[in-house]
């Protein structure tokens, strides 16, 4: 299927809804959502690659209670879309595109995390209105407020994906303009390095969140593994 930004953003709305509003069927996990985008737009290998690389850093994040978390699912989803979109348009710069897309997806995941507070406040307003409806005996209003919450999450996801996909386009074009084309072959290590960094970040997330040292160890381990595999 040819690239369709509207369809991409609509699916992003579903990803947002599935994250913490309705169902929570794991469809919103980067590994699943990114792979699905790759399947839909005829590049399942790249979608799976982005999903795998971005799944690990956010594996420890569970959207429960009032826990602070990033928009890792949506960030990964946008990154996969950008990687697939540019891979269709430009040949011979796959490593540069991949690293730029993942950097953008990771950055927006954390930079936009304060928006979660506003989403939760909005949901809290709906919960209070539903409580008032119960006290007044208007049970039909409860479903209405639930649908409002789902629709708000869907719209947020659609708008989020549209804004940051458009911004990501400009970012990747800027990165490709700044990085010489001959650097493409030198970035062959990027996948194992990112995989190692992801494993390190995952360990960091599970072990008290006290140090980024493990992420650095993961980067070194990923690069070392690739080099050993290349020479032996």
Residue length of the chain: 232
Least confident residue range of 169-173, 202-206, 208-212: 208-212
pLDDT at res. 229: 46
Which has more pLDDT, 95 or 159? 159
User: Which band of pLDDT confidence, cut at 50, 70 and 90, is reported for residue 215?
Assistant: very low
Which has more pLDDT, 180 or 163? 163
Which residue in the block uniquely carries the two structure tokens 């010489």? 180
Is the distance from CB of 14 to CB of 157 less than 8 angstroms? yes
Query: In the predicted model, what is the mean pLDDT of the chain?
Result: 75
pLDDT at res. 163: 94
pLDDT at res. 10: 92
C-alpha 228/C-alpha 232 separation (Å) is: 6
Does residue 77 register a pLDDT over 80? yes
CA 74 to chain centre: 4
3-state class of 229 per DSSP? helix
Which has more pLDDT, 107 or 55? 107
Domain borders along the chain are 5-181, 189-232
Least confident residue range of 45-49, 65-69, 91-95, 156-160: 65-69
User: Which band of pLDDT confidence, cut at 50, 70 and 90, is reported for residue 185?
Assistant: low
pLDDT at res. 81: 92
**CB 89: neighbour CB atoms within 10 A?**
9
pLDDT at res. 71: 75
pLDDT tens-place string over residues 55-70:
766 655 555 544 556 6
DSSP state of 57: G
Does residue 115 register a pLDDT over 80? yes
C-alpha 207/C-alpha 120 separation (Å) is: 27
3-state class of 143 per DSSP? helix
pLDDT at res. 132: 79
Mean pLDDT comparison of 52-56, 205-209, 215-219, highest-scoring range: 52-56
User: Which band of pLDDT confidence, cut at 50, 70 and 90, is reported for residue 230?
Assistant: very low
Structure tokens at 104: 């953008």
Alpha-carbon distance values, 208 to 54, 95, 105, 157, 191 (Å): 20, 33, 24, 30, 27
Does residue 47 register a pLDDT over 80? yes
Does residue 231 register a pLDDT over 50? no
Alpha-carbon distance values, 66 to 16, 124, 219 (Å): 17, 11, 31
CA 83 to chain centre: 12
Percentages helix, strand, coil for the chain (3-state, rounded to 5) are 80, 0, 20
């Amino acid at each position: 299927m040819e690239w369709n930004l509207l369809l991409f953003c609509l699916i992003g709305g579903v990803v947002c809804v599935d994250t913490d509003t309705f169902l929570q069927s794991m469809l919103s996990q980067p590994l699943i959502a990114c792979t699905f985008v790759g399947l839909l737009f005829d590049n399942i290998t790249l979608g799976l690659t982005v999903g795998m690389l971005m799944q690990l850093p956010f594996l420890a994040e569970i959207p429960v209670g009032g826990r602070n978390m990033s928009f890792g699912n949506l960030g990964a989803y946008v990154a996969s879309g950008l990687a697939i979109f540019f891979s269709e348009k430009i040949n011979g710069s796959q490593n540069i595109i991949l690293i730029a897309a993942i950097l953008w997806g990771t950055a927006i995941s954390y930079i936009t995390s304060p928006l979660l507070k506003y989403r939760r406040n909005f949901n809290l307003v709906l919960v209070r209105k539903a409580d008032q409806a119960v006290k007044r005996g208007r049970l039909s209003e409860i479903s209405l407020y639930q649908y409002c919450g789902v629709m708000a999450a869907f719209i947020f996801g659609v708008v989020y994906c549209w804004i940051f996909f458009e911004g990501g386009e400009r970012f990747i074009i800027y990165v490709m303009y700044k990085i010489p084309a001959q650097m493409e072959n030198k970035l062959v290590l990027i996948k194992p390095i990112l995989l190692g960094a992801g494993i390190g970040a995952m360990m960091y997330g599970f072990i008290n969140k006290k140090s980024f040292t493990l992420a650095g160890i993961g980067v070194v381990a990923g690069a070392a593994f690739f080099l050993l595999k290349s020479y032996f």
